[in-house]
Amino acid sequence: MKHIYFDNAATTQIRDEVIDKITEVMKNNYGNASSSHSFGRSSKALIEKSRKTIAGYLNVSAGEIVFTSGGTEADNLVLQSAVRDLKVTHIITSKIEHHAVLHTIEQLKNEYNLEVSYVNIDKKGLIDYYHLEELLDTKTYTLVSLMHINNEIGNILDIKKVADLCKANNALFHSDTVQSVGHYKLDLQDVQVDFLAAAAHKFHGPKGVGFVFIRKNSGLKPLILGGEQERGFRAGTESVHNIVGIETAIKIAYDNLEKESEYVKSLKAYFIEKLKLKIPTAKFNGFSGNMEKGTYTMVNVCLPVSPEKSGMLLFQLDLKGIACSKGSACQSGSNQNSHVLAKILNDEELQKPSIRFSFSIYNTRQEIDYVIDVLKALI
């Protein structure tokens, strides 16, 4: 049986070079980075080198990068501290954000009597920037939390436009960039975002490590207490090998971005072309079928399948060796429909299966041919 992996938005295959580097560090740099002896200093030096490397690619200072366990922790750190410590009383977000943001905001709303506003979106999942500007016209201390690239339908936010709107209205801006870091260049001197979250496993790095960008003098405070690691933002012994792993992964990703992104773009374009040819009644959700307004790494397709057959489609694809997703991996074990698709599809469309296929440098056109043929046969 073939084994074809088209679920790269959930997680990616770790590059061999990253595995080699992680293994080397685990063997040779096992000292606690908080220890003052040579073993500890060696580990500390690797962490600070990694921090400096990542900061360089984002055009920020090394002190503004704080390593976390991933994107979810990074989002929680920003949102919870903003309300608890920065006295934010109003959060503006959308109803198609990742649950790491939506669930955290809901908890904060209940705990702090927070005012929460949801910016309007259209039937393609596009943010209404005029409505956002209206919501920003307030005297309250506001934080905006909008993701750069939607993890289910791939829509790309005009992150600079939002940052400029926030700056003009004295609001803070947090963006979950888990689907964009490592795939798109971000100059944070040009894009004046205040807080940003990223995760290594989305760009061929290890799971269990990510980072949060915290703009200097923000006043943010830690959630995890017990030590002075990560400039006091995150207590706990640092995972040195994982931190070096994220550095290695981001370095390879950005140093090869032009060549690798062009290849993945060609795969997406080929998938769209073949799907339209073989299954012309299939519909692309959001802007996932668009090469400019949607990320080049994924498509989300509503397939012409009857309701009674739709529940078994993912299972049938899995039996054929095809890995994909009905939405985010975080909810794949749930029987609930995608909260993102629920906001942009009508009742008839929601009865049909929508599948997310996401691509990487390890995929091929031959794999796409196989997937499209299997889909056509099942439909």
Please identify every residue annotated as catalytic: 330
Burial class (CB in 10 A: 0-12, 13-18, 19+), 39: middle
According to DSSP H, which parts of the chain are helical?
Answer: 16-28, 38-58, 71-84, 99-112, 129-136, 159-168, 240-255, 257-278, 307-310, 313-319, 339-344, 347-350, 365-378
The DSSP-derived string for 224-257 is S-SS-TGGGTS-S---HHHHHHHHHHHHHHHHTH
Instruction: Retrieve residue 172's tokens.
Output: 């803070």
Burial class (CB in 10 A: 0-12, 13-18, 19+), 40: middle
Tokens of 375: 């889909």
User: What string of DSSP letters covers 72-133?
Assistant: HHHHHHHHHHHHHTS---EEEE-TTS-HHHHHHHHHHHHHHT-EEEE--B-TT--B-HHHHH
38 by Cβ neighbours in 10 Å (0-12 / 13-18 / 19+) ranks as exposed
